[in-house]
Chain A
C-alpha cells in the first residue's frame, strides 16, 4: 500500500515585503495561513507548486510544507511553520502588528 500523503500547503515570501504568504484555492496569495488551500492529493500538490513557482514577480522561495486541517482552516504541523505563520516571539511585529491595528 502506498504511504499516506500528508496534507500540504504552498507557502513563500512576498517579493516586495518579504512577508510570509500562502497560496489560496482561488489563486491568491494570502498572508493568513488559515486561508491557505489545504492540499490532500500529491499530484495536485505538485501542480499547485508549479503554478506558484511561475509567479516569480510576486513571491520568492516557494515550497510545499505539511499542514493539518483545523476548525478555522489549515494549521501548521512543524513549529517553524507556526513561527512563520505568527511572527517573532520577542515583539508584536510582522503579522502580529497588522492583527493589532
Chain B
C-alpha cells in the first residue's frame, strides 16, 4: 500500500491546520456562512438534513487495517458509532458537530487520510476496481496509476474551479467492476497489439438527471501518456464546459453538445502541448508508487479443511458460493464481506464491525481491506484454509450474510433520511425489500440480481445501471418511486428504461415481488439470470407484471 511521502504528509497537515483556523473563525463570527461554505466543502464538510456530514476519501477503495481502526475510533469518539460507505468509495459520518470536525480531520491525517476534494467542482476521489491487485482476470493492478492520478489531481491549480465536479474511475480487468462507463473519465486497462499495457480512455459518461454511457475517446493510450492526456481532457473541458447552467455543466454534456469527434480533436490538439510539458518525472514517481503496491507474500500451502468445511457446513458452503471471487494466487480467495445483513442499512458499518474487519484483515488478509462501490467490504487476499475460521469470526458481528450479488445486496444512497438534496427515502425501501425476500424464502431461488436505489435524480444510488432501478421522487408532496429495468453497470454498461408510472412508497415491495415472480416463471432454467431473461424477452412481460390492471385491460 502507498505510504505518504513527506510532501503528502506536510500538505495534508497544512490543510488540516488551515481548516481548523477556518472553523474557529466561523464560530467566532469572523467568517459568514457564505464565506465559510466553500471552505468547508473543500474539506468534505456538508450540512445535511439533521446534521453536518463529513465525507472522507478512501482513495481507490483501499484501506489498511490501521486506517479501518482509526475510522472506527472516529465513529465512536465524534459520531454515533458507525460510518456509511458510499458508491464512490468514500466513508461518510452523519453526525459530526462543527467544533469537533478539525479534530476528526487531524485524526484522519494521523493515518494518512483526508476529506480534501470530496466535494466541490474539482477532481474527486479516484475510484477503482475493489478487487484490484487480487483479481484473477486482472491485466495490471490499477492502484499505482490511481495513486498517481490522486497526487496529480490533488490541489491541481488549474482544476480547482472546474465547471462541475469530475469523477475518474479505473479498472485493471476486462470485467469492469468500477462502472468506468458511467464516469466523467473511465480508464480500462488493455493490452496493445505488441502486448504492452495501456488504457482505453472513455469520456463523458455519467448518471444523474441526464444519464449517459461514456464514449471511447482513445482506444489505446500508452501508459506514459496517461497524465498528459488526462490533463488535456480536463483542460479542454475546463474551457469548453458550460458554466451558465449547473445542469449542463458536466463533461457528458460538453461531449454530447460538441460531439465526440470535435471534443476528441480539441483534446488531441491540447495533448500536443501537455505532452511536451511532462518531462517524464511522472513516470519516475509512478515507478516509486508501484513498488509500494507489491503483492503480499502469498503462502504456498494446501487448502486444508476448506472442502471438508464446505461439505460439512451448508451455511459456510452458501457463503462461499456467493461471497468469494477468484484470486490470482493459487489457494487464495477474494472475500466480499456483506455489510448488508437483511434489514441493515446498505453501506453502514458499526465501529465494532470495522474493528473486527481490521483484526481479521491482520489475521487472515495481509492487513488489507477494500471498500466496493456496491457498499461492501472486501478482504482481498485470504488463503482458503483460513476461510472456515474467518467465516466463524464474521458470524459473531452480523458480517457473514451470504447475499453478495443477490436481491438483498442492494445499493442505496442515504436518501431523505439524511441527504439535503433527496426527494424521497431510499434506505427503508432497501431494508424492506431485503427483509421481504428473506421472509418469503425466495432469495437463493432468484439468484443474481442487482437492485439499485436513489433518493433523487442525482443517482448516487446508481439506479440507472441497476437490473432493477428504483428512483424516489416527490410527486405532488408524496413519495413516489419510478422503476427502471434492464440497466447494467459492467463493461456492457446500459442505462435502464422507465417502464411506466411510479409507485407509492408502500407499493414498491409488492411491485418488485411481481417483477421477480414474473422472471421466475419466464426463465429457461436457474442459469438464466434476471438480466439475461430481460434481454431475451424484452420489457413487455415484465411491464405486464408491474402493471397487471393495465395488462388485463389491454388483453380485454
Contacts and interface: CB of A to CB of B under 8 A. Distances in A.
Interface stretch (B174-182, B272-280, B424-432): B424-432
A84 B51 CA distance: 10
Given A56-B32, A78-B477, A83-B416, A93 B49 contact: no
Given A80-B416, A89-B427, A90-B428, A18 B478 contact: no
Given A18-B98, A88-B417, A83 B431 contact: no
Contact of B99 (A16, A19, A78, A95): A16
- By secondary structure, the A interface counts as loop
B80 A15 contact: no
A20 B33 contact: no
Nearest to A16: B98
Contacts of B117: none
A88 B418 contact: yes
Nearest to A84: B49
B48 interface: yes
B50 interface: yes
B314 interface: no
B431 A90 contact: yes
Interface residues of B, number: 30
Interface in A67-83: 77-80, 83
Contacts of A91: 80, 345
B547 interface: no
Contacts of B431: 90
B389 interface: no
Interface in B69-128: 80, 94-95, 97-99
B479 interface: yes
B52 interface: yes
Nearest to A62: B33
A19 B50 contact: yes
Nearest to B428: A89
B50 A87 contact: yes
Interface string B404-434: 0000000000001110000001011001000
A93 B97 contact: no
Contacts of A24: none
A7 to B, nearest CB: 16
Contacts of A17: 51, 97-98
Nearest to A80: B416
Contacts of B48: 18
Contact of A79 (B80, B345, B477): B477
A56 B37 CA distance: 13
B29 interface: yes
Interface-centre pick from B50, B95, B418 (highest chain A CB count, 10 A): B50
Interface residues of A, number: 25
Contact of B50 (A78, A84, A90): A84
B504 interface: no
Nearest to B82: A91
Contacts of A57: 29
A20 B427 contact: no
B518 interface: no
Contacts of B478: 79
B525 to A, nearest CB: 37
Given A18-B98, A57-B29, A90 B47 contact: no
B27 interface: yes
Contact of A18 (B29, B52, B345): B52
Interface in A1-19: 13, 15-19
Nearest to A95: B50
A14 to B, nearest CB: 9
A89 B427 CA distance: 8
A18 B51 contact: yes
Given A79-B478, A89-B427, A89-B428, A94 B29 contact: no
Nearest to B97: A17
A18 B49 CA distance: 8
B98 A90 contact: no
A87 B418 CA distance: 8
Nearest to B420: A61
Nearest to B99: A16
Contacts of A84: 49-50
Contacts of B95: 93-94
B337 to A, nearest CB: 20
Given A16-B98, A17-B97, A56-B33, A90 B51 contact: no
Interface of A: 13, 15-20, 56-57, 60-61, 77-80, 83-84, 87-91, 93-95
Interface of B: 26-27, 29, 32-33, 47-52, 80, 94-95, 97-99, 345, 348, 416-418, 425, 427-428, 431, 474, 477-479
Given A19-B51, A84-B49, A88-B50, 16 more contacts: A13-B47, A15-B98, A18-B51, A19-B50, A20-B49, A78-B477, A80-B49, A80-B474, A88-B417, A89-B417, A89-B427, A89-B428, A90-B345, A90-B431, A94-B95, A95-B50
29 contacts: A15-B26, A15-B27, A15-B98, A16-B27, A16-B97, A17-B98, A18-B47, A18-B97, A18-B98, A19-B50, A20-B49, A20-B50, A56-B29, A56-B33, A57-B29, A61-B47, A77-B477, A79-B478, A79-B479, A80-B49, A83-B416, A83-B425, A88-B418, A90-B417, A91-B345, A93-B50, A93-B80, A93-B94, A94-B51
Closest 4 pairs between A and B when the two form their complex, measured CB to CB: A18-B51, A88-B417, A18-B52, A94-B50
